[in-house]
Structure 1
Amino acid sequence: MKKKLNVLPVVAISIGLLLTAAGCSGGTQTAKTPEAKPADPKAAAAGEAPKNAEPVKFTVMLRATPEFSPDNNPWVQEINKKANAQITWNAVPLANIWEKRNVLLASGDYPEVIILDTPYDTMYKQMVKNKVLLPLDDYLKDAPNIMKYSNKASLDAVKDPDGKTYMIPRSTIVREDFMAIRKDWREKLKLPVPKTIADWRAFFKAVATQDPDGNGKADTYGTTESSEMMSLQASNNLEFFARAWHADKQWYDNGSGEVAYGIFAKDGRFKYALDFYRQLMLDKSLDPDLITNKGIGAKMDKFNKGTTASMRTFAGNLDAQLLNVVKKVQPSAEVELVEFPTAPESDQVKNEKLVSTNSGLYNAWGLTTKAKGKEKEIIKAFDWMLSDEGWNVLKNGVEGVHYKKENGNIVRLEPEYGNFSKWIGHLAMFRRPNDEELWLKKVVPELYPYQKEWLDKSIKYVETNYKQNGLLGIVSEKETEFYKKDIYTKKFAEVTAKIVYGELPLTAWDDFLKEVYAAGWEDVTKDYNDYYKAHK
């Protein structure tokens, strides 16, 4: 089993910028610049640029929003000035970033710096094998900010089997996500905050039958799903409830040192979660149109418009992506977060413990052979990005252009500056993972204390409930291959949907599980258990 990175597919990335496709050759070489003396670590942490050195010239290929333009861009100018660099930002939209990059790699006309779609990057092995990527370990010794703001688990996870580091992780916050619900509806219905699975069913049934929005129509529902039902990213609502039986997409230690994947546990426990959704369907509290929903966006849209009462989300998105949007449609709306449900009758949870595979890695970047001879200067420029000075520029922009300071506070002059902004070209490369200001935007200022409380709770949940040793940053190659098979990409969704709609009995899940293990999941489970026993 190869040690790989456990991250969300690139479609889920929340902070990556895309660049325009112009000028993607990025391979122009310049004369080697004089080597500057190593920067003082304290000066590097504060963000002082190296003195008496020629700016290092290089090209970065990554993704950014189509609106991003590096021409006459004050952000680009500030970065080059402060980092002692001349960076060409070649931006490619998300829709064809990997295709475009792979074409350039095949042609040999690639830039000095590229982003990597870890762990699913189909070109990574080939790039290492063909020596397209340069080993970076020697240069990280003089990169205090990169080391400080990269999760150790991320750094461990990106190491190749040969022990070398060919890519630098962009570490992100390691947290759990809870369920947001309509607090105003719950209070109108005179119901307590739901705790057990039975509580949730009662809340959803009341939402569907007692007209909480007061429009006189039976057009509100408890929750919804995407038509994909249990695809990699479409199932976060259902998985929230599946946690009550340890039947979600997590690995669990059964108390005797063995691990099993909740949704595919051999005892068939996931059928209890499917039965819960089937009960919601019978109650008419599950969105009847879920079969036509496409992706996570459809679920969020129904919550924002007041069609459904719940939407699983990250605490950091509570104001900007939920409450602020919902209130534009329904000014009286209130939203609250709720912890995972319990199933008192469940035997699965008594002796089991969650085992974390999450290393907090969310994309990576590497230097190609076109950067040969400039590795030290490029790494130094990137290290500046995560210094106090550099991070302020990345996060807030240029003082006097994008913001000003008043009484020690940042006051926005350019409201559009931020994630997915026309101003920035760094995303998918750099992040201080636990920077509170990065996650809590104070779009609804009065909500900040509540949001901060739940942000802290989401981080502590992982620290308290997950075993951190054994599987951090691990994805079995056999698991990756299994997810490409028809039994997962097609039949999985068909079986779950038919059970929820009552077209198949619950026992159909047990029959399907036998096919899952025969199709390769037995080998996947062995992979994880072998690794877990050797590393815990």
Structure 2
Amino acid sequence: MRKKMGAKLGLVSIMVLSLVTAACSSQNAASGVPEDGKPMPVSIMSMYFTPEPPGADNVIVQEIEKKTNTDLNITWVSPNSYGDKVNVTLASGDIPDLMLVDEPFSAQVRTMVQQGAFWDLTPYIQDYANLANFPAESWINTKQADGNNYGIPRVRPVEGGAFLFLRKDWLDNLNMEVPETTDELYEVLKAFTKDDPDGNGQDDTIGLTGLVNQNNMGSYWAIVSAFTQTTGDWKEVDGKLVNVNLMPEMRDALEWLSKAYAEGLISEDLAVLKESQTKDQLNAGRAGAAVNTVEAAWEPMEANLKSNPDADFLPLVSMNGYVNKDGGFFGMFMIPKTVSEEKMKKLLELMDYGASEEGGTLAGYGLKDVHYTEENGIKMTTEKAKTDIVAQQALGQIFMPYDKYLRAYRAGMPMDIYERNMKIIDEREAISIPDKAIGLYSETNISVGPELAKNIQDMKTKIILGKQSLSDWDNYVEKLKNDSDLQKITDELNQAYTDRQAAQ
């Protein structure tokens, strides 16, 4: 596997050399910025989540072009195939002016950065107020190994990310308090499963719906993180990153989950369940808890309100005093060195406009009283927005201002729920803990990490399903402690962690 990886990186290096050479000749030939005031041509590659992508004649594309004096040529790619498209485009050397890279820490991207294929934006960002106003985490977590930023984060809030939410109306029916610890949560899920929380006289409810993936805990990571007090596989202990699978807290989490599974409090088919099926259970009023972002709890709540006016899905502030702080980005837009410095600055101007309130509103919501109406500060989309393909799921994937409360609101949500969600986000902000390993590079992890993660998760799933015992887990952990690959990954990540701290 390492031979294949070396050959791949060698090919990337050759292509990067060609790309850098082309960049030099391109920059010597022309700046790429029209001198006579004509619109600047800008090629962009991004993904879309609407049924169809906006066309070149889209009214909002044209409006943004007028506002920024640009001629936008946007290549829209489905998220289902976006990663493959990025790999092919990077390999071709024919890279758009602005390219959304969904995996900014892949070996391919890292190699191209090291070879000088992309602009280092670090010295320039301070000159663009809206971009500079992104959360510090957005910029810190997208730094490459040398401590510099080679892309504009596709900004996301650091608070309000996926965590536990549950049926508040079921708690009220059962005269139970909102759980704050995993012990209390266990009792709540038990009551949700066995005590007829919806009062229909039938045994047709389950405590927590969710699934596990082949290489991670899927929905149940929120339970695990409440025990380990960190997101992901690594936790800082005495200044060093330690793999959480080696910690006793992971055993505690597996014991909790295996017991919950044995009692039927969590999904029986969690190893094969699809996400759409968990949504169906929630929307049908059959599940009392799940894991998703703060505003996403509104979707099943809205569905249940049609038949139950008291339905209420409450996002939890924390569990065992823990809640995760997100990374503040979802991919980033990179500018290749084939673009001149003058044009690169113009591209930053364009993205800075998109990060402004005016630009972000235009891209995500369109024209007021045409594509949206506004009442009490809440924007409500119109049918015209759908027909014109105006949405945050389209152009809003390219141009987006930072909004701390982005994950507080969804269309149709009443003001009291929106205000409650904002309060939950504020409360989380005071205690949330970041993932210290975001963006850290380990060559060994690139080559053998996926298979190792799959094997570890396979063992965890067997423990939860009762196919293996906790004693088997103890024996497995002892083997993991002596696994040469895991030891090397740990050493490499800690070195990357030390380097990143030194570069800040």
Regarding TM over 0.5, the answer is: yes
Matches of 1:407 and 1:278 in 2, distance apart? 47
Counterpart selection for 2:183 from 198, 205, 218: 198
The one-letter code matched in structure 1 to 2:347 is: I
Contact 1:359 1:472 in 2 (8 A): no
Q: Does 1:117 align with 2:102?
A: yes
Please report how far the alpha carbon of residue 126 of structure 1 lies from its aligned counterpart in structure 2 after TM superposition.
4.1
Please report how far the alpha carbon of residue 495 of structure 1 lies from its aligned counterpart in structure 2 after TM superposition.
1.6
Contact 1:302 1:308 in 2 (8 A): yes
Counterpart selection for 2:464 from 500, 510, 524: 500
Contact 1:208 1:220 in 2 (8 A): yes
Q: Does 1:434 align with 2:403?
A: yes
* Equivalent in the alignment of 1:516: 480
Matches of 2:234 and 2:457 in 1, distance apart? 21
Matches of 2:440 and 2:330 in 1, distance apart? 14
Write out per-residue CA displacement over residues 19-66 of structure 1, whole angstroms, 9 at most, x where no aligned residue.
xxxxxxxx9x9984456xxxxxxxxxxxxxxxx833211111111134
* Equivalent in the alignment of 2:442: 477
Q: Given the superposition, is the C-alpha separation of residues 455 and 322 from structure 1 closer, same or farther in structure 2, using an over 3 Å criterion?
A: farther
Contact 2:155 2:329 in 1 (8 A): yes
SS state of the match for residue 169, structure 1? Answer: strand
Contact 2:163 2:222 in 1 (8 A): no
Q: Given the superposition, is the C-alpha separation of residues 221 and 483 from structure 1 closer, same or farther in structure 2, using an over 3 Å criterion?
A: farther
Counterpart selection for 2:226 from 225, 230, 243: 243
Q: Given the superposition, is the C-alpha separation of residues 202 and 134 from structure 1 closer, same or farther in structure 2, using an over 3 Å criterion?
A: closer
Q: Does 1:322 align with 2:322?
A: no
Write out per-residue CA displacement over residues 153-187 of structure 1, whole angstroms, 9 at most, x where no aligned residue.
43344444456543222232112544211122222
Counterpart selection for 1:147 from 129, 132, 148: 132
Q: Does 1:336 align with 2:314?
A: yes
Matches of 2:186 and 2:392 in 1, distance apart? 46
Contact 1:179 1:310 in 2 (8 A): yes
Contact 1:117 1:363 in 2 (8 A): yes
* Equivalent in the alignment of 2:371: 402
Q: Does 1:57 align with 2:53?
A: no
Q: Does 1:172 align with 2:151?
A: no
Matches of 2:444 and 2:291 in 1, distance apart? 25
* Equivalent in the alignment of 2:425: 455
SS state of the match for residue 133, structure 1? Answer: coil
* Equivalent in the alignment of 2:244: 262
| Count of equivalent residues | 468
Matches of 2:252 and 2:465 in 1, distance apart? 14
Q: What percent identity do the matched residue pairs reach?
A: 22
Matches of 1:140 and 1:198 in 2, distance apart? 47
Q: Does 1:310 align with 2:289?
A: yes
Please report how far the alpha carbon of residue 457 of structure 1 lies from its aligned counterpart in structure 2 after TM superposition.
1.8
Greater per-residue helix proportion: 2
* Equivalent in the alignment of 2:491: 526
Please report how far the alpha carbon of residue 215 of structure 1 lies from its aligned counterpart in structure 2 after TM superposition.
3.8
Q: Given the superposition, is the C-alpha separation of residues 494 and 237 from structure 1 closer, same or farther in structure 2, using an over 3 Å criterion?
A: closer
TM-align CA RMSD:
3.6
Q: Does 1:387 align with 2:356?
A: yes
Provide the TM-score with structure 1 as the length reference: 0.76
Q: Does 1:274 align with 2:242?
A: no
**Which 5+ residue runs of structure 2 have no aligned equivalent?**
1-25
Please report how far the alpha carbon of residue 364 of structure 1 lies from its aligned counterpart in structure 2 after TM superposition.
0.5
Contact 1:201 1:280 in 2 (8 A): yes
Contact 1:69 1:422 in 2 (8 A): no
* Equivalent in the alignment of 1:46: none
- Stretches of 4+ aligned residues off by more than 6 angstroms: 406-409
Contact 1:167 1:365 in 2 (8 A): yes
Matches of 2:331 and 2:456 in 1, distance apart? 28
Provide the TM-score with structure 2 as the length reference: 0.80
SS state of the match for residue 69, structure 1? Answer: coil
Please report how far the alpha carbon of residue 473 of structure 1 lies from its aligned counterpart in structure 2 after TM superposition.
4.6
Contact 2:163 2:293 in 1 (8 A): yes
Matches of 1:438 and 1:485 in 2, distance apart? 30
Matches of 1:430 and 1:213 in 2, distance apart? 43
The one-letter code matched in structure 2 to 1:401 is: V
Q: Given the superposition, is the C-alpha separation of residues 59 and 424 from structure 1 closer, same or farther in structure 2, using an over 3 Å criterion?
A: farther
Q: Does 1:88 align with 2:61?
A: no
